[in-house]
Structure formats: structure tokens, C-alpha cells
């Protein structure tokens, strides 16, 4: 399969001037020398993206992922190295960038399209599709300044996706427009995937990577620190995120201890990252940094009624998740937990012993942790399960099996959707008269 994007030892340097001297006077006063620091936003990044792959670029704020994305799009040029892309590249960094408020929607379509490199005749042939997709048929000759922000964005998206890109570059800012239009956009992205187009998505949300991408790279401080399947990438992302958060200054043990001592502070300490990735918040284990190898998960088993004769659990019945471990020595702070995801990688639910009054102690040897669910609230499907063992402060990971298990569920009920909510359905005659009024609460 041909390579769609080749990134060859790309580095990007930014000059950080201690003061922004943008005027000649200031430059002259400083003898032409403005104190600056070199900041390498990207350092020797090299990887390839195969055709047809939906590729995630994962990283925290300031990791260089946006710089790389802009370099692939050709908006900025790397200081060293080069990027080779094959085919037409469309970058959705900002929808409707370059719209002229004074001009009509029709004129803006042509102007925006030529900005993206499309010819006038090509736009002519797609014009009705673009307008139809944007749902702006009756407003297309109005000035864009009278458009609502939703209409604006819809038009921008419509132009961008109709330029028939071979490579689509998407920034996560795409969560725009009303829900219906968002679904339409996602649908279009999926159609692009089916058509074998290459898509690069920049995000700091691991969920997004799990849901949409087939491969991902992780950037940290301008370096490529992970490259592989979404699960591998997410794991590497978490490790580096925590290292950044908690071990920013690893020599200062004091600050580390104060972080570890205070459970509530711990939550705050990771808040910066949590805010930027809202979906992460309820998750059992947000991040982990240090590995301790003396305590291992030896197996994970799902136990349910008749689990010896069938390999699926039944909705609404009880389920036990049994996690076996082996300890080389005794540990006095162990936090076992599990997390269940749906097929698209969305975090569904999970539990751990974080709120236990006392830390869990483990003696040397083998043992099991058992999580019991009385009534399994899942419908038909296969659900990836993550299990892990770590310390109470979540900074030391003993062992971690990211989505290594699959829980199969069969549902016998008539409920549809995501959750198995047992519902009784009955019928009764409609009540009239004073009785009915009372029921309505009048």
C-alpha cells in the first residue's frame, strides 16, 4: 500500500524572544540583538502514515502535535527535514477560515474553494452538493455576516469535505454545530474512511483515538514517544502525561510526597490534564507513571451463571470479574480496579477501591481480587475490559492490562440502546374526569 504521508526527520524550532521587539526602534535600541531562546517544538520526528489509515496524533497541550499537524498541512514549514504527502491535502483546522462577511454565501464558496486549491469549474460541478450539505439553500445569496455561527461552520465544513481530499487533516476543534450536523460530519468522516482516504486527527482525548483511529502516534515535548495501535498509543500517552504532571521535577522529592500524601490534592494536581480531556474524568485510573514489577496480574476471569458451558454473560444477571495476582513480597498499598468500554472505546463504567477506608494489603504469594456486579446493565455486544493494580495515589502501577479482555453479553430483554434497564410494559385505559386531573397534579 502506498504511503500517504512520510515525515522525514522533521524538527521545528521556535524562537522565543524574551520581549517581543516588533518595532525598528526597539531593535535599534538593542543593537539589533534581541535576547531569545530556541525552543524545539518538534525534534527529529519520523514516521509514515499508510494510505487508508485513520491516524491519531495524541499529545497534551504543548506537545507539538498541532505544530506537526500544521506542518503536514503545509501551513508552517519545518526548520529541518521534510514532509512528503501524496495527493490532495485538505486541512480542517478552522472551518470557514477566510470567509468574507461582506460577501454572499455563494461568492464565499468560490473564494474559500480557491483558497483550498480547487478550480472554479470543479466547484461549479459540486456547487449544489455543497449547498445541500450545508443546508443553506435559501440563504446562499445572503451576505455571510448575517449567518448564524452554526450556518457559518456548516458552510465551511461543506466546502472542505467536497474538495475530494486524499488526505484529510482534522483538528479536534471540529466539535461544532448542532448535534444533528455533528452526526452528519462524523458520518462523512466515516464515509471517508470507507472510501480509503487517509485521515489525520489531532487530539488530546484518548477516547477519540480509541473510537476513530486505526493507528496513532504520541508526542511529548516535541518528541515521538509512542507509535502503534490505539491501545498502545493510549498507554504510552498516559505514561508520559503522568511523568510530566507528577515528575516534572523528579529530584524534588518533597513536592512528590506532598502530592502523594493528600488524596484530594492528587485530584487537583491532574486537573489541568483532566480539563483538557473531559472524558477522562470519571475514569478509574487516570494516569500512571512508575512501574513496580513485583506484583503481577496473573489472570482475569469472568464468572457468571453457567460460565462453564457458555462464553457470554446475560444482561441483568450477576457477574464476577476475578483478577488473579502474584506478589513477590508484601505490599501495603494496593488499589485494584476494572473498567468496561464499549466497542467504540467509550468508557462505560468501572470501579476500584479508592474510597475504601483502609488501604488494601497484599501478602507474598498468589491471590484474587473479585469484583461482583449484581445485575449486569449491558446489552448485546462485546465489551473490552481493562484491569489494573496500582497504589492508592495512582502514581505507581504494579500491573495494567489495557483492554486485554473481552466481555461478551447476550440480552434476552426487549430493551434497546446502550444500557440494560429492565422495563415492564403494560397497558391501561385512559382515565378521565376528576381522577385524571388529580393524576396530572392539578
- Contacts to other proteins by CB under 8 A: 1-2, 4, 14, 22-25, 27, 51-52, 70-89, 91, 93-94, 97-98, 100, 102-103, 110-111, 114-117, 119-120, 166, 194-198
Q: From the CB of 67, what's the least distance to other proteins, in Å?
A: 9
Of residues 229 and 318, the one with the C-beta less far from other proteins? 229
Handedness of CA 103, 104, 106, 109 (dihedral sign): positive
Of residues 198 and 352, the one with the C-beta less far from other proteins? 198
Per-position DSSP letters for 307-373, written without gaps between them: TTT-SSEETTS-EEEEEEEEESS-EEEEEEEEEEE-TT--EEEEEESTT-SS-EEE-SEEEEEEEEE
How crowded is residue 282: how many other Cβ atoms within 10 Å of its Cβ? 12
Q: From the CB of 74, what's the least distance to other proteins, in Å?
A: 3
Q: From the CB of 105, what's the least distance to other proteins, in Å?
A: 14
Q: From the CB of 154, what's the least distance to other proteins, in Å?
A: 17
52: left (phi over 0), alpha (psi -120 to 50) or beta: left
Of residues 159 and 379, the one with the C-beta less far from other proteins? 159
CA–CA distances in Å: residue 288 to residues 182, 186, 243, 394: 33, 31, 8, 6
Main-chain phi, psi angles of 102, to 5 degrees: -80, -15
Of residues 163 and 225, the one with the C-beta less far from other proteins? 163
Q: From the CB of 54, what's the least distance to other proteins, in Å?
A: 12
Residue 25's Cβ-count burial label (10 Å; 0-12, 13-18, 19+) is: exposed
How crowded is residue 196: how many other Cβ atoms within 10 Å of its Cβ? 12
Q: Rounded distance, CA 239 to CA 225, Å?
A: 10
Of residues 80 and 223, the one with the C-beta less far from other proteins? 80
Of residues 80 and 243, the one with the C-beta less far from other proteins? 80
Q: From the CB of 296, what's the least distance to other proteins, in Å?
A: 36
Of residues 54 and 386, the one with the C-beta less far from other proteins? 54
Cβ contact 318:302 at 8 Å: no
Q: From the CB of 2, what's the least distance to other proteins, in Å?
A: 5
Of residues 75 and 419, the one with the C-beta less far from other proteins? 75
Cell of 220: 511529548
Cβ contact 402:386 at 8 Å: yes
Of residues 141 and 195, the one with the C-beta less far from other proteins? 195
**Residue/partner pairs of 351-355 with CB below 8 Å, 24 or more apart:** 351/284, 352/284, 352/285, 354/284, 354/392
Q: From the CB of 272, what's the least distance to other proteins, in Å?
A: 24
Cell 473510537 sits on residue? 211
Non-local CB neighbours of 76 within 8 Å, separated by 6+ positions: 12, 67, 70
Per-position DSSP letters for 53-64, written without gaps between them: -EEEEE--TTSS
Of residues 167 and 390, the one with the C-beta less far from other proteins? 167
Q: From the CB of 36, what's the least distance to other proteins, in Å?
A: 12
Alpha-carbon dihedral 131, 137, 140, 146, rounded to 10 degrees: -120
Q: From the CB of 78, what's the least distance to other proteins, in Å?
A: 6
Amino acid at each position: 500500500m502506498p504511503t500517504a504521508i512520510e515525515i522525514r526527520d522533521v524538527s521545528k524550532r521556535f524562537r522565543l524572544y524574551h520581549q517581543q521587539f516588533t518595532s525598528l526602534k526597539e531593535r535599534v535600541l538593542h543593537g539589533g540583538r534581541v535576547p531569545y531562546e530556541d525552543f524545539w517544538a518538534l525534534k527529529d520526528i519520523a514516521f509514515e502514515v499508510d494510505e487508508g489509515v485513520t491516524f491519531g496524533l495524541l499529545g497534551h497541550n504543548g506537545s507539538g502535535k498541532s505544530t506537526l499537524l500544521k506542518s503536514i498541512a503545509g501551513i508552517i514549514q519545518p526548520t529541518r527535514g521534510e514532509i512528503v504527502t501524496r495527493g490532495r491535502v485538505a486541512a480542517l483546522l478552522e472551518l470557514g477560515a477566510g470567509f468574507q462577511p461582506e460577501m454572499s454565501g455563494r461568492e464565499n464558496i468560490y473564494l474559500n474553494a480557491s483558497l483550498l486549491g480547487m478550480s472554479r469549474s470543479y466547484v461549479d460541478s459540486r456547487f449544489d452538493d455543497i449547498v445541500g450539505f450545508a443546508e443553506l439553500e435559501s440563504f446562499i445569496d445572503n451576505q455571510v455576516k448575517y449567518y448564524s455561527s452554526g450556518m457559518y461552520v456548516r458552510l465551511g465544513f461543506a466546502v472542505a469535505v467536497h474538495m475530494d481530499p486524499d488526505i484529510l487533516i482534522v483538528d479536534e476543534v471540529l466539535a461544532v454545530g448542532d448535534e444533528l450536523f455533528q452526526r452528519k460530519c462524523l458520518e462523512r468522516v466515516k464515509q471517508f474512511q470507507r472510501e480509503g482516504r487517509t485521515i489525520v486527527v489531532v487530539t488530546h482525548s484518548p477516547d477519540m483515538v480509541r473510537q476513530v483511529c486505526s493507528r496513532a502516534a504520541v508526542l511529548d515535548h516535541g518528541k515521538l514517544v509512542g507509535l502503534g495501535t490505539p491501545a498502545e498509543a493510549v498507554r504510552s500517552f498516559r505514561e508520559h502525561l503522568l511523568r510530566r504532571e507528577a515528575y516534572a521535577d523528579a529530584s524534588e522529592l518533597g513536592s512528590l510526597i506532598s502530592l502523594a500524601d493528600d488524596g484530594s490534592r492528587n485530584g487537583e494536581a491532574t486537573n489541568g490534564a483532566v480539563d483538557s480531556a473531559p472524558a477522562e474524568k470519571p475514569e478509574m485510573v487516570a494516569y500512571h507513571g512508575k512501574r513496580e514489577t513485583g506484583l503481577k496480574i496473573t489472570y482475569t476471569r469472568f464468572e457468571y451463571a453457567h460460565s462453564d458451558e457458555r462464553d457470554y454473560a446475560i444482561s441483568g444477571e450477576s457477574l464476577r470479574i476475578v483478577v488473579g495476582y502474584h506478589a513477590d513480597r508484601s505490599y501495603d498499598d494496593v488499589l485494584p480496579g476494572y473498567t468496561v468500554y464499549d466497542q467504540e472505546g467509550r468508557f462505560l463504567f468501572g470501579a476500584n477501591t479508592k474510597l475504601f477506608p483502609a488501604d488494601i494489603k497484599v501478602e507474598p504469594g498468589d491471590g484474587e481480587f473479585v469484583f461482583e456486579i449484581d445485575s449486569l446493565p449491558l446489552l448485546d455486544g462485546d465489551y473490552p475490559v481493562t484491569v489494573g493494580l496500582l497504589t492508592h495515589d495512582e502514581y505507581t502501577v504494579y500491573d495494567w492490562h489495557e483492554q486485554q479482555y473481552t466481555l461478551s453479553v447476550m440480552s434476552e430483554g426487549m430493551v434497546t440502546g446502550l444500557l440494560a434497564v429492565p422495563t415492564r410494559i403494560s397497558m391501561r385505559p385512559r382515565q378521565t374526569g376528576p381522577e385524571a386531573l388529580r393524576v396530572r397534579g392539578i
